[in-house]
Amino acid sequence: MAGLFKWFLQVASVTKFGLLSIPQRRGSALASVIGIAGVVAVLVSVLSMATGFRQTMSGTIPPDAVIVLRNGADSEMVSGLSRPETRLIADAPGLVRGSDGPLASAELFVIVDLPKRSTGTDVNVPMRGVERAAFQVRDKLKMVEGRAFEFGKNEVIVGTAAASQFAGMQVGGKIKVGREQWPIVGVFSANGAAAESEVWTDATMLQGAFNRGDSFQAVYGKLATPGAFNQFKDSLTTNPQLDVKVERQADFNESQSAAMTKMIDTLGILIAGLMAVGAVFGALNTMYNAVSARTREIATLRALGFGRGSVVVSVMIESLALALIGGLIGAALAYLFFNGHRTSTMNFQSFSQVSFAFAVTPALLVKGITWAAIIGVVGGIFPAVRAARLPIASALREL
């Protein structure tokens, strides 16, 4: 026990000398800190984009929300349901029954071209035709400006994200639907869900504008309880009159975001990995300079009886300390400049724009700082070993 305590005292003493000498080589130390901060800032900010996109697509969907599509369809764009089929779906057991009937909304999903506010170029914006039950199926939807559209009229409402990202989407404005201009009568929020990137109107009016007859693409429903999912699903998939698939809306939306989030995650890790290589070399340079500047000091300590292990650990602690400072700075910059920043991008499943906010979560901050710690350890290990192997006699000749 006494030997272990002595070893800890030696490590503390050598580490103290090393940390106090950092101002004398502040140039190389600062370069190492900045390099590591850059790695962490880039990693966290890029991954926060994927996290925000994922949260928008599925993170706000309750477990009692379901969607029904044509069997084999991997998105609403390639699905198709007739009016009789949507009625059979709405009559299936397991859905909430309100005073006006089951909470199921047969919906039509189309794409309209609207100018992006930041660039002025036309992009694909999702437009959804809904039935009356849609506002109860999505019970988190709230009008924040204006009013809801009237069924039977060529009126639209827009999500808050769409209103902020696309030009001319304010109440009183108009958008081109088919060959006509439809007035915008309201703006709605949906608890941060992907619906906030959409334009909504009456499904019947949208069918006429796009010559869709009496067809739909999906049915959105609200279960009586989350546990009623299997009952609802089995009643539809075993019905010989239907050829459909049933999913929880959260699972469906997550599958819709999979391609985009995977691409962003891969890109972020690749960029950060390349930067990390440079940061490791920066850390190596910093610590080799530290060892070189402290050659006589380390040799003197070794001559006084300090062990090689305490020298190795002290150099590693110094490298790790610099790395963690850089990691904390990088994480703070990512949070301050990117958390909550709103943008929009193409959803490859629906080929339409989805607006979302970057989400710098605690888990991402921990990941970024962990990367910094790894860089610090890798950058310190070789200089630490070199310091421990310094020949005492030759080093003391420099005194």
- pLDDT tens column, 25-41: 677 778 778 888 888 88
Q: Is the pLDDT of residue 312 over 80?
A: no
Question: Which amino acid is present at 83?
Answer: R
Indicate the SS3 state at residue 278: helix
CA distance 89 to 176: 32
| Structure token digits, residue 70 | 């044509």
CA distance 228 to 349: 28
Query: Could you tell me where the DSSP H helices lie in the chain?
Result: 2-20, 26-54, 83-90, 134-137, 160-165, 203-209, 229-237, 249-293, 295-303, 308-338, 362-388, 392-396
Please state, in angstroms and as integers, the Cα–Cα distance from residue 50 to each residue in 55, 89, 307, following that order: 9, 34, 48
Q: Is the pLDDT of residue 189 over 50?
A: yes
CA distance 150 to 88: 26
- For residues 180-191, give the mean pLDDT: 92
User: 83: pLDDT confidence band, cut at 50, 70 and 90?
Assistant: very high
CA distance 136 to 131: 10
- For residues 179-206, give the mean pLDDT: 90
CA quadruple 183, 186, 190, 196: dihedral positive or negative?
A: positive
| Domain edges within the chain | 2-58+256-396, 72-242
| Structure token digits, residue 288 | 């080799």
Q: Are 312 and 388 in contact (CB under 8 A)?
A: yes
Among 73, 126, 119, smallest CA distance to 351 is for 126
Q: Which residues contact 262 (CB under 8 A, 6 or more apart)?
A: none
CA distance 188 to 183: 15
When comparing pLDDT for 180 and 17, which is higher?
A: 180
CA distance 308 to 73: 65
Residue 399: the pLDDT is: 46
Q: Are 308 and 18 in contact (CB under 8 A)?
A: no
User: 6: pLDDT confidence band, cut at 50, 70 and 90?
Assistant: low
Count of CA atoms in the C-beta half-sphere (13 A) of 386: 16
User: Is the whole-model pTM more than 0.85?
Assistant: no
Q: Are 384 and 311 in contact (CB under 8 A)?
A: yes
User: 219: pLDDT confidence band, cut at 50, 70 and 90?
Assistant: very high
Q: Is the pLDDT of residue 12 over 80?
A: no
Chain-wide mean pLDDT for the chain?
Answer: 82
User: 94: pLDDT confidence band, cut at 50, 70 and 90?
Assistant: very high
Q: Are 103 and 95 in contact (CB under 8 A)?
A: yes
- pLDDT tens column, 327-368: 999 999 999 999 988 877 766 666 667 777 888 999 999 999
CA distance 242 to 134: 22
Range with lowest mean pLDDT among 27-31, 151-155, 167-171, 339-343: 27-31
Q: Which residues contact 211 (CB under 8 A, 6 or more apart)?
A: none
How many residues in total does the chain contain?
399
Residue 268: the pLDDT is: 75
